[in-house]
Every structure is written in structure tokens, then in C-alpha cells.
Amino acid sequence: MKTVLIDCSPKKRMSASGFIASMTDVFLRGKREKEKLRVPADHARILEKVKDADNAVFSMPLYVDGVPSHVLPFLKEAEEYCRENGLHPNVYVIANNGFIEGRQNEPLMRIMENFCDRAGLIWKGGLGIGGGVMMNVMRIMITVFFALMLISLVLSGFGTAPLITFGQQLLSVLLLGCGIIAFDLRLAACINRGKSYGKHYTRIMVPSFVFILFADIFFTVLSVFQGGIFRGWLKAKKPETVSRKQAE
């Protein structure tokens, strides 16, 4: 059995889609290949991998309540390619979104279901994850806690206390992701058996009011570093000028 996992995030690194695809990969049996879909140059390579695959797993972010625009030309090409070559792989989708409710991925699931229907692929279901960005926070937290444990181990003369603290910290991080891990395990079990998964939605295990508070703080800090406070609002706007040559 061969499974191709396609990370459809346009981010070069640190994408939540890539993280969840890698996690799913760990739970899968048989031959697995992980691919990144960012630019049109990726299309031919991915389609070649899908040619002899039993399963294609799309892992993607939700953009404006739908499939990211750079994925649409790929789907169009895949539709023609699969029809021409008589391919009918099973399709599973893992979608993650910025808002806390995983159910917001429902329109994306329907788009992918319709794509499968039209292209003759076998729709096997999908998992929608709310608060997807927290998956990155989780992996950063684990790395930081691990580094702190190593430092404490050296400073404490290799006592057991840092190990216990790290164990507690690891458990608390895993608790945040327990819904994601459980649903992903079930998805992987379905892929391994070629079974339908249906549609399931989960989220990061943080109360909504806490998530919204931290998201607001995070994006305010980010905008200060990347955009500057009020910079966009107060900057004098120049009208866009298009030369006659450009317009033609």
C-alpha cells in the first residue's frame, strides 16, 4: 500500500499542515511519500507520485472558508491527469484553520468531496482542526521544555527532578492536542485499512475565551514587529499609477 501525503500550505516551513501531515505519517503503514504543494512547478512531480498510490492525503489550511487558491490549479490538473490515466486513489483530507472551531472547515470538505466526485477519485472523508496555529505553538513548547530540561539536568548534576518536570510539561502540552491526536489516530487507522473516515471536526483543547485572548495578543505583537503600530493607517496613501504601456 502506498500513501502520498501532500502538505498544501504555501508556507516554506513551520506550517501546521506540514506538522499534522508528519504526525499522520508516523501512524501509517506501508510505503509513504511526503510532498509539498506550493507552486505550479510542484504539480507534475506530485502527480507522478500519485500515479501508483492507493491513498492521497491532502493536508491544507483553510483560506477564506475554502481551499487555498494555489491548490485549485493543481486540482484542475489532477482531474485531467487522473481521468487520462484511469486513476482512482482514495482521498483523505486534513484541514486546519485559524479560528477555534474545527467545523469551519466544512465548506472546504465539500469542495474536496465535489472534486473527487468530478475527477473519479474515491472520497474517504476528512478531519477538520480548529485553532491549527496552536500546533506550531505546541511543537515550539516541547522544544523549549526539552532544551530547559537538558540545561537543568546539567546544572542539577543529572538529578531526576528536571526529568519529572519535563514529563509534567509534556503531558500538559499533549493534553492541549489530545483531541487532534485521537482523531488523527483514527484517521490513520482508516487509511491503513482503506476504510471511509467520514467527516470529523476537532480543535485544540483550550477554552474559546482563552484562545481568543491569546490570539489577540499574538497578532498585536506580530503586527508591531511586522507592520508597525498604526503604520498602515497613518501612512499617506499614494494612488496607484499605471502607465499606458502597462495598461496595454
Ligand X SMILES: Cc1cc2nc3c(=O)[nH]c(=O)nc-3n(C[C@H](O)[C@H](O)[C@H](O)COP(=O)(O)O)c2cc1C
Tell me which residues in 76-105 interact with ligand X (CB under 6 A): 96-99, 104
- Closest to ligand X by CB, 8 vs 149, is 8
Residue sitting closest to ligand X (CB): 98
Cell representation of residue 124: 474517504
| Structural contact between residues 41 and 77, judged by C-beta atoms closer than 8 angstroms | no
**Per rule CB under 6 A, is residue 179 in the interface with ligand X?**
no
Q: At 121, phi and psi to the nearest 5?
A: -90, 165
> Which candidate, 119, 108, 122, places its Cα nearest to that of 196?
122
User: Smallest gap, in angstroms, from Cβ of residue 92 to ligand X?
Assistant: 16
Kindly state the number of chain residues that form the binding site for ligand X, as judged by CB under 6 A: 17
Q: Which residues pair with 129 in a beta bridge?
A: 96, 202
User: Is the Cβ–Cβ distance between 16 and 60 less than 8 Å?
Assistant: no
Residues 125-154 close enough to bind ligand X by CB under 6 A: 132-133
| CA proximity to 49, closest of 6, 86, 113, 20 | 6
Q: Which is nearer to ligand X, 137 or 149 (CB)?
A: 137
Q: Please report which helix (H) or strand (E) contains residue 47, including its range.
A: helix 43-50
State yes or no: residue 180 binds ligand X (CB under 6 A): no
Q: Does 67 bind ligand X (CB under 6 A)?
A: no
Of 6, 16, 37, 191, which one interacts with ligand X (CB under 6 A)? 16
**Residues 25, 51, 63, 173: which binds ligand X (CB under 6 A)?**
63
User: Where do contacts with ligand X occur on this chain (CB under 6 A)?
Assistant: 9, 11, 15-17, 61-65, 96-99, 104, 132-133
